[in-house]
Amino acid sequence: MDKMMNTPWFVKIVALFLAVLLYLIVTTETTPGENNNDNVLPRVSESEEISVPIATHSDGEQYVVSDEAQTADVYIEGPTSVIRATLNQRDFEVFVDVTDLAPGTHLVDVQHSGFSSRLDVSVDPAQIEVTIEPKVSNVYQVSVDYINEQAMAEGYSAGDAILKPEAVRVTGPQSEIEQIALVKTLVDLTGVSEDVDTSSLVKVYDGRGNELDVTVEPSTIDVTVPVASPEKTVSIEAVGSGEAAEGFQVTDMTPVPEQVTVSGAKELLDTIDRIQTEGVNIDGLDASETIEAGLALPEGITAEEETVDVEVTVEEVSESTVELEDVAIQTENAPEGENVTFSSPEGGVVTVTAAGAQDILASLTKEDVTVLMDLADLAPGAHDVPLEVTEMDGVTFSLSHETATVNIGDTEQEPEQAQEESPPPEDAETAEEQTEQNTEESA
């Protein structure tokens, strides 16, 4: 016997037997089937309970509404290996078949498929009550609701949304479709400060605001929300460029409209109280006319209209003159700590003659005219200083005195110009000698 067991053939036969036995064990434990040999090994059994959704089989034209639970409890009993394989593969289904059933309420058997014949399967509930309704499909316009609109960036506002597409198709049981009160999408505007482009889910609601269980196609739409920056209404100031023709003057420039609404960041708007036009070309005008001009908008600011019409009024100049007496002479750059007094004109006042258009001169007073003399770099003593009149648009000035004589310091002296006109010392001595000579000759 020992000799036979030590032969190679004996070992090969035993190995083959064990291989066949292992194959039978594996195929029996892992493969559900109808003809497996249960007598190869003792059967190990167990039971399992699982919850499975109930599917609906129909012809597609019906719509099933069930008031019952939409899941069933499935009880499985059989070999452990078969149960485990079944639960892992999930190739089973629990369903009701409503094909060919007429609209109305029906008590329908709950069926199952895909379980091994080696398993005992039971389903609870065994039947459910279903209501069959016609499937209805309608097209509805979609509206938009803004949420958190008050939480947008300060000063910004949302305009009317643009939807693509503007309508969707809603499909469902007739009873649900009849309850539709609103088809809308929601857009959150928290912190928004620029245009919004988003894809948004469409929802369907009844009159009480409850969401309905229907099918929406497409389920999402593209929404664009234009966002307007803060705005402000300011006045327009017309600015001219050039000069009217000789003998004519521009008496008025009125922008039409006189105000404009501008938009931009709030911190920029806070610094603006008016908008000027670009230079209105009035060069050479000899008659009134309306000229289009652009608005000189600061960077970062936009306006509803970027151009305005400017009504330019041009009138022929009707000149006249007026004398303004006792206009005080103003000094500038006077030496510090030195007293300045006038020798001429008396009292440091002059008469100013103004020439220009009558409408300008009619309101002109001596307080409107400034006569200046510049004492810069002048030493103490008497000086003749030129006088100047501050210029004024449309008016020319002339003075009763072109210069003023002033004394700088406490002692009155002859002005420097007068001293220069006196004969030099040499000439004085020569004159004195000539006088003495004439006296001697007379004697």
Instruction: For 129-159, write each residue's pLDDT tens digit.
Output: 988 888 889 999 999 999 999 898 877 889 9
- What is the structure's pLDDT at 163? 96
Distance separating alpha carbons of residues 138 and 99, to the nearest angstrom: 24
Query: 164-214: per-residue pLDDT in tens?
Result: 999 999 998 888 999 999 999 999 999 998 899 999 999 999 999 999 989
Q: DSSP 3-state helix, strand, coil percentages of the chain (rounded to 5)?
A: 20, 45, 35
Distance separating alpha carbons of residues 374 and 384, to the nearest angstrom: 11
Q: Which residues partner with 168 through β-bridges?
A: 140
Distance separating alpha carbons of residues 176 and 214, to the nearest angstrom: 7
Residue 92 or residue 2, greater confidence: 92
- What is the structure's pLDDT at 30? 46
Distance separating alpha carbons of residues 277 and 274, to the nearest angstrom: 10
Unique residue bearing structure tokens 């190995």: 15
Please give the DSSP secondary-structure letter assigned to residue 226: -
Mean of all residue pLDDT scores within the chain: 84
Distance separating alpha carbons of residues 202 and 206, to the nearest angstrom: 14
Tally DSSP H helices, then E strands, for the chain.
Answer: 8, 34
Measured CA to CA in angstroms, residue 311 lies from 278, 295, 297 at distances of 14, 15, 20
> So where are the chain's domains?
1-30, 45-128, 142-228, 232-316, 319-421
Confidence of residue 421 (pLDDT cuts 50, 70, 90): very low
| Amino acid making up residue 98 | V
Distance separating alpha carbons of residues 213 and 218, to the nearest angstrom: 15
- What is the structure's pLDDT at 373? 94
- What is the structure's pLDDT at 330? 93
- What is the structure's pLDDT at 429? 47
- As its CATH architecture, domain 232-316 has Beta Complex (2.170)
Q: Do domains 142-228 and 319-421 have the same CATH topology?
A: yes
- As its CATH architecture, domain 319-421 has Beta Complex (2.170)
User: Residue 368: pLDDT above 50?
Assistant: yes
Share of residues in the chain with pLDDT > 90 (%): 53
Q: pTM of the predicted model, to two decimals?
A: 0.44
For the structural domain made of 142-228, what CATH number should be given? 2.170.120.40
**3.40.50.300, 2.60.120.10, 2.40.50.140, 2.170.120.30: which CATH number matches 45-128?**
2.170.120.30
Distance separating alpha carbons of residues 135 and 29, to the nearest angstrom: 47
Neighbours of 150 (CB within 10 A): 8
**Is the Cβ–Cβ distance between 82 and 121 less than 8 Å?**
no
Query: 108-126: per-residue pLDDT in tens?
Result: 999 999 999 999 999 999 9
State mean pLDDT over 312-317.
88
User: Residue 105: pLDDT above 70?
Assistant: yes
Distance separating alpha carbons of residues 284 and 246, to the nearest angstrom: 8
**Is the Cβ–Cβ distance between 354 and 395 less than 8 Å?**
yes
Q: State whether the Cα torsion 422-425-430-435 is positive or negative.
A: positive
Confidence of residue 362 (pLDDT cuts 50, 70, 90): confident
Distance, first Cα to last Cα, the chain: 199
Distance separating alpha carbons of residues 277 and 255, to the nearest angstrom: 9
| Amino acid making up residue 97 | D
**How buried is residue 211: exposed, middle or buried, by Cβ count under 10 Å (0-12/13-18/19+)?**
exposed
- What is the structure's pLDDT at 426? 45
Distance separating alpha carbons of residues 25 and 408, to the nearest angstrom: 134
- What is the structure's pLDDT at 43? 45
